A and B are shown apart, each in its own frame.
Chain A
Amino acid sequence: MNVPLIVFFALAVIAVLGAISLILQKHPIHSALSLIVVMVALAGLYLLMGAEFVAAVQIIVYGGAIMVLFVFVIMLLNAGTEERTNFSSLAKFAGLPLAVALMGCLAAAVYSSNEQVQTVAQSGAPAPTKALSAQLFQEFVYPFELTSFLILVAIVGAMVLAQRDRKESHL
């Protein structure tokens, strides 16, 4: 076992444990904290693969901005401990088999692939940030701009919904 592999498995275990804890925690804030752990562990995995930019953005956007909003909303609504409901029948009859099937598919894909599965950065790869920006802003510039446009539409939609609520309350 070399060091990167050990780090990989450590981060993977942390990520999986965080995800399990996210489901099992009773309080929303604890669940949100577990999700942050997952995000940060994933960022560590990206870092291990040499994608520094993606790792940093993962923490800034997901670990930081988005999860702060989650935590903010949970705190604002003062959500209490959730009550345990019975396992929904949909999850029991469709969810579990589907989850197992997905796991099986992924395992089969990894197992049957001829290339060795990479857990660390390959030496000699181009500087990741530069390569990424070249891809984003040259090769995939139209999909990139379209995605931005989609997000803009979503923002405007959210604004419209919020404004409509306000108008009604004024009446």
Chain B
Amino acid sequence: MIDTLTQKLNEHWDLIISLVKIGLLVFIVLTVNAYLTWFERKVVAHMQSRWGPHRVGPHGLLQPAADGLKFLLKEDPTPNGVDKFTYYLAPLMALALALTSIAIIPFGPDPIVIFGHKVYLGIVDLNIGLLALFAITALSVYGVALAGWSSNSKYPLLGGLRSSAQMVSYELALTMSVVGVLLMAGSFSLRDIVNVQALHADRGIFGWNIFPQILGFLCFFTAAVAETNRVPFDLPEAESELVAGFHTEYSSFKFAMFFIAEYTSMITVSSLCAIMFFGGWLSPFPTTWTFTHYLPSLILIPFGLFVIWDGIRYETIFGRIILPGVGTVITILGALLIAFPIVNEFIQGPFWLLSKIFIFLFIYVWMRGTLPRFRYDQLMSFGWKLLLPVSLANVVITATVIMLRGH
């Protein structure tokens, strides 16, 4: 009985592990999305001298759960005169494509060995990884454009129009800006792109692509922010001009789907920036500095202790119970990492990648808190007259240098 079960497991191992990984990743991404909204509201609030969410749970930490519940339970009216099929298709498309794109990101260098099988972090390693990502991004504009059109209402239509024009304009710069990285790596695979940056591991941070490709990075990040429709490029939903832009006529969970799609693509873009330009899972320190491997514990333990200290003085009893509990868990995790060096070695890669992703997510929120929106003609001339030529120049420069150095 056990034998046949093991045999079956071995036969369908790839399928089973893929399904488990997909389930896990979707769960993690949705949770991170939920807390990203909390993080964004909190950070923007503090930038504007406000408190942000603080009623639901200690420090408003249960606000995402409350929001999610509201989205699920709210009435979901379909306005008259919408194009039903497209109206329902658009949010589905946006969400599905955003979630698909994150499946291509590799999250760490070393495979975990489970029952003698190597399991890599990340769902698929495509040898056309980057191209596949661009293909998915290219399709994701339809989510927004069709939502705007199918709503049969003028503000959403304007939002949809703006979105498609913006996507077409910035996609070119987006694609051209990574050609430099591709030339240096000689491969479309995201894993290869990181491995090329690891060739000079003794140099640490100076081996990363960001130094030779600073132009490429600036173009890529700007174009990517435009592709994700975030401030200062959020013209498709400019609330001061278009009510809520393309999703004006959507409410309840269909609106939540657009929301989740937007935040998921923020995570994808942040991961891409980290992987292509900032060395992915590589540590910024030279490999010989082994003491930096204690950095995760050094961050976790003080943070955990701070949460405990903060929690015992919290104003509600609920918070006084929950926060010290969470803090204790974090502190213990940090201590366990010191106790088990094998685990500590293993989490180095994911730790650095996730830290870099977090920094980019913070930059997204930071921009949201500080930058004003572009005017529409500024947006267009910026994309065509500045970003595109600069990214083209970057390609020419990179190609020339690579040719002169002869490899």
Write out the residue numbers on chain A whose beta carbons fall within 8 Å of the beta carbon of B168: 65, 68-69, 72
Q: Give the tally of cross-chain contacts (CB within 8 A).
A: 77
In Å, the complex CA distance between A76 and B134 comes to: 25
Write out, one digit per residue, whether chain B residues 78-110 have a CB within 8 A of any chain A CB (1) or not (0).
000001011000000000000000000000000
The answer to whether A56 and B131 have CB atoms under 8 Å apart is yes
Write out, one digit per residue, whether chain A residues 52-64 have a CB within 8 A of any chain B CB (1) or not (0).
1101110110011
Least Cβ–Cβ distance between B11 and chain A, in angstroms = 15
The answer to whether A64 and B164 have CB atoms under 8 Å apart is no
Indicate whether A57 sits within 8 Å of B157 (C-beta atoms), given known contacts A52-B126, A69-B168: no
Say yes or no for B148: interface residue by CB 8 A criterion: yes
The answer to whether A71 and B128 have CB atoms under 8 Å apart is no
The answer to whether B127 and A68 have CB atoms under 8 Å apart is no
What is the interface of chain B mostly: helix, strand, loop, or mixed?
A: helix
Write out the residue numbers on chain A whose beta carbons fall within 8 Å of the beta carbon of B160: 75
Say yes or no for A36: interface residue by CB 8 A criterion: yes
| Contacting residue for B131 out of A29, A33, A60, A78, CB 8 A | A60
Indicate whether A72 sits within 8 Å of B188 (C-beta atoms), given known contacts A52-B128, A60-B131, A64-B138: no
In Å, the complex CA distance between A29 and B86 comes to: 9
| Contacting residue for A60 out of B135, B142, B145, CB 8 A | B135
The answer to whether A60 and B134 have CB atoms under 8 Å apart is yes
Least Cβ–Cβ distance between A61 and chain B, in angstroms = 8
Write out the residue numbers on chain A whose beta carbons fall within 8 Å of the beta carbon of B155: none
Q: Which chain B residue has the least Cβ–Cβ distance from A43?
A: B135
Write out the residue numbers on chain A whose beta carbons fall within 8 Å of the beta carbon of B137: 64
Say yes or no for A129: interface residue by CB 8 A criterion: yes
Least Cβ–Cβ distance between A4 and chain B, in angstroms = 16
In Å, the complex CA distance between A27 and B149 comes to: 12
Least Cβ–Cβ distance between B151 and chain A, in angstroms = 12
Instruction: Supply 11 A–B pairs (Cβ within 8 Å), ascending by A.
Output: A40-B139, A52-B127, A60-B134, A60-B135, A60-B138, A60-B175, A68-B164, A71-B164, A75-B160, A75-B164, A76-B161
Indicate whether A129 sits within 8 Å of B149 (C-beta atoms), given known contacts A63-B135, A65-B171, A69-B168: no
Indicate whether A71 sits within 8 Å of B142 (C-beta atoms), given known contacts A56-B132, A59-B135, A60-B131: yes
The answer to whether B145 and A72 have CB atoms under 8 Å apart is yes
Write out, one digit per residue, whether chain A residues 139-171 have a CB within 8 A of any chain B CB (1) or not (0).
000000000000000000000000000000000
The answer to whether A71 and B145 have CB atoms under 8 Å apart is yes
Write out the residue numbers on chain A whose beta carbons fall within 8 Å of the beta carbon of B83: 27, 29
Least Cβ–Cβ distance between A150 and chain B, in angstroms = 19
Residue among B134, B135, B146 with the most chain A CB within 10 A? Answer: B135
Write out the residue numbers on chain B whose beta carbons fall within 8 Å of the beta carbon of A30: 85-86
A60-B131, A60-B175, A69-B168 given. 5 additional CB < 8 A pairs? A29-B149, A59-B139, A63-B135, A64-B141, A72-B168
Q: Which of A43-95 contact B (CB under 8 A)?
A: 43, 52-53, 55-57, 59-60, 63-65, 68-69, 71-72, 75-76, 78
Write out the residue numbers on chain A whose beta carbons fall within 8 Å of the beta carbon of B139: 36, 40, 59, 63-64
Say yes or no for B167: interface residue by CB 8 A criterion: yes
Say yes or no for B165: interface residue by CB 8 A criterion: yes
Write out the residue numbers on chain A whose beta carbons fall within 8 Å of the beta carbon of B164: 68, 71-72, 75
Write out the residue numbers on chain B whose beta carbons fall within 8 Å of the beta carbon of A63: 135, 138-139
| Contacting residue for B128 out of A33, A40, A56, CB 8 A | A56
Least Cβ–Cβ distance between A39 and chain B, in angstroms = 10
Write out, one digit per residue, whether chain B residues 151-172 have a CB within 8 A of any chain A CB (1) or not (0).
0000001001100110110010
Q: Which chain A residue has the least Cβ–Cβ distance from B138?
A: A64
Least Cβ–Cβ distance between A41 and chain B, in angstroms = 13
| Contacting residue for B171 out of A36, A59, A64, CB 8 A | A64
The answer to whether B138 and A59 have CB atoms under 8 Å apart is yes
